Structure 1
């Protein structure tokens, strides 16, 4: 039997609602299997297709193209027409719902009109009966908290997450009036548009910051009031290594793309040792970097005090050096290339940049602390603007999640 999310903890519903395997829903709604509302549910092309890839041809979507806000066509593959004809029974139609099978199972998106006739690779294809179910509503339901609980509850494959056509066919969904599905989808689409716009703004701000970094961190553009030649310095002359251990009482921190943050706030599983006696102390104003990934730009300035894994190297700037300037400088592609050149090891997975190697790297910096600080202030301002947009994005996503929970279960009606 399939495992259905337990709804016993939910509060009693108001009059006009009934308790079902999906929780409390309006009395006039039914709970049915998805296959009863669909013309077909099948898997896309599942045979080797690499030999048929072309620079142009028939578009083919992959799991990575399927996003909750819609299909991402930024990196489509294209198929040779002869090979595609062999799989003509898999051709997509407008309104089909594509669902990710493995990795992040259940993420779903609808096929827009412009991609009628396209193909998909190993994703699940649901072709809704348009007289019974609105495809955008269905995608929202599968993506919703309750839809994900159902998917996670009946997924196959154990640790390797995998949803197959049988699981999707037998997924329980509420059968509700078509006009109500359309209204719900229209409301949620408004949030999707706001989310998409905010993402575009974030991308634009990030591109703007990259441009600023390229100009300001290389001396190509000088700020008003500053002059003098930039100087090349060895990292060992302006940084010292912090090797303090024995601070197990301090908070465990992680270092990633978003900076230095508490491990408790990380989405990743805590794989740290129970014995943290060898963990390194990091303080505000330090830079921590992944010793084996510095050549990939894995470094960040810390605003927190705590301990980090021995896999990180911690460096502290000496007097006359602005740490925020250096933190940004370390993210320049040219700087990352130097860290790669000085890393030790035979291949990528064994390369490491321990402090002695780090100390040998030479980078160009402004002649005065004041200029370093002025440049860092501009880039920090850019980071703050990006941070505010990310907060807005998170708020919009939370609002949408809340709306989905209310609208897709009938707690709020839009009849």
Structure 2
């Protein structure tokens, strides 16, 4: 953050309170009906990293007169006052996307003086790393996950204010990245929808979609076995692997240093291509194949390693079998335990899968892998756009980079 004296000529440094024309006000959270009735109320989910998401609204009650006092109007700013540290203080500009819409108690609302600041510039500024850092440092709470900010915190947000023409120019420039991000994320949604359709057609309902193909129900023990590995005598110099949930694969975990204790779990080393199953989280999509870059990683004995009979089963095809939500979520019903449930190795090998011949398995896995790879590339592209935008915002909103004068002049009133 630049000091006041370092700002470009004509720019101002002030706190948000100096721009607010309508006092900051918490929302109201009524008891909501299940059925839509033409009235709506927002949730924290409407405030995303990239702006307002209208899809997360809930029906609001018609017979609660207090709701009327919290109806939103175009030009209202909304900021979350309670959330996880990475999400608290998320801010959006309401543009009238939803009619008859109010806001809940976990959000605050305010309006600003548009003779001093444009709504579009301020929305971008309030989502910048400058403000995110301030919010996260100011947030407080006793919960390990949820933190809060209050009215005073919001009022004291530091604001760097260019001239109005330059504000408009900056906002328009940043909107170019917003459009690219939005377009890419819409494409991701479409690709993910198509992937789910392919998963259903090729894996979940093959007998309905692949007439004439011969599929056989088998138990995993007929085509796999559990790897028998030696316990490590030392974990020095080794890195830990984590099996992520929701079918997101395997990652390196540098947050936790593995340690051997007398009563603790033993550790085992794995190689690239090993098929790992988190026995406590299989029903949450906790399984994956170790990629080449994580060769040699270790896990505790809470993770099982499957050895696949390559003459009968494609490892990638098995992953897609497991990745069908209708498959892995149902496994929770057979897991043992009264508290933290766990799938035993014996239960894993008794799981049933439906298999075509090996050639068909490989063909299906190739189609699904290609579709999944497209999604991965698009997500990487979206993240690149977001990173570029964050860098641009940091430079533009502090005056380190300036919009060319001839462009700013186009925004000046005649």
Q: What is the TM-score of this pair, normalised by structure 2?
A: 0.85
Gaps of 5+ in 2: 409-414
Aligned residues of 1:136 and 1:185 also touching (Cα < 8 A): yes
Q: 1:198 to 1:117 in 2, by over 3 A?
A: same
Give the superposition deviation at 1:337. Answer: 4.8
Partner of 1:275: 260
Structure 1 residue corresponding to 2:17, chosen from 35, 39, 47: 35
Pairing 1:76-115 to 2, within 5 Å after superposition: 76-83=57-64, 85-102=65-82, 103=84, 104-115=87-98
SS at match of 1:26: coil
2:225 and 2:251 map into 1 onto residues whose CA distance is 22
Cα distance in 2 for partners of 1:77, 1:169 equals 29
Q: Could you tell me which residue of structure 1 aligns to residue 299 of structure 2?
A: 308
The SS at the match of 1:130 is coil
The verdict on how the C-alpha distance between 1:116 and 1:170 changes in structure 2, with shifts beyond 3 A counting, is farther
Deviation, 1:52, is 5.9
Q: CA, structure 1 residues 35+285, in 2 after alignment: closer, same or farther (shift >3 Å)? A: same
> Given that residues 68 and 109 in structure 1 are in contact (C-alpha distance below 8 angstroms), is that contact kept between their aligned partners in structure 2?
no
**2:129 paired with 1:129:** no
Deviation per residue, 1:253-291 (Å, 9 max, x gap): 222243112224xxxxx2454338723333222222221
Q: After the TM superposition, which residues 233-252 of structure 1 pair with which residues of structure 2 at under 5 Å, given as runs?
A: 233-244=218-229, 245-246=231-232, 248=235, 249-252=237-240
Residues 33-73 of structure 1: CA distance to partner in whole angstroms, max 9, x if unpaired? 10110113423324x51256652232211212111322111
Q: Find 2:148's aligned residue among 132, 146, 162.
A: 162
Q: Distance in 2 between matches of 1:329 and 1:111?
A: 43
Separation in structure 2 between the aligned mates of residue 390 and residue 335 of structure 1, nearest angstrom = 26
1:73–1:51 distance in 2 versus 1, CA, 3 Å: closer
Query: C-alpha distance in 2, partners of 1:338/1:161?
Result: 34
Give how far 1:98 is off.
Answer: 1.0
TM-score (norm 1): 0.85
What CA distance in whole angstroms lies between the structure 2 residues aligned with 1:299 and 1:319? 19
Number of the residue aligned with 2:412: none
Distance 1:271 1:161 in 2: 24
CA distance in 1, matches of 2:330, 2:17: 57
Change in 2 beyond 3 A, CA 1:38/1:163? same
Q: CA RMSD in A?
A: 2.5
> Are residue 286 (structure 1) and residue 271 (structure 2) matched?
no
The answer on whether the counterparts of 2:43 and 2:56 sit within 8 Å (CA) in structure 1 is: no
Residue 124 and residue 203 in structure 1: after superposition, are their counterparts in 2 closer, same or farther (change >3 A)? same
Following TM superposition, by how much is the alpha carbon of 1:396 offset from its aligned partner in structure 2, in angstroms?
0.6
Matched position secondary structure for 1:375: helix
Q: 1:221 to 1:399 in 2, by over 3 A?
A: farther
* SS of 1:81 mapped into structure 2: coil
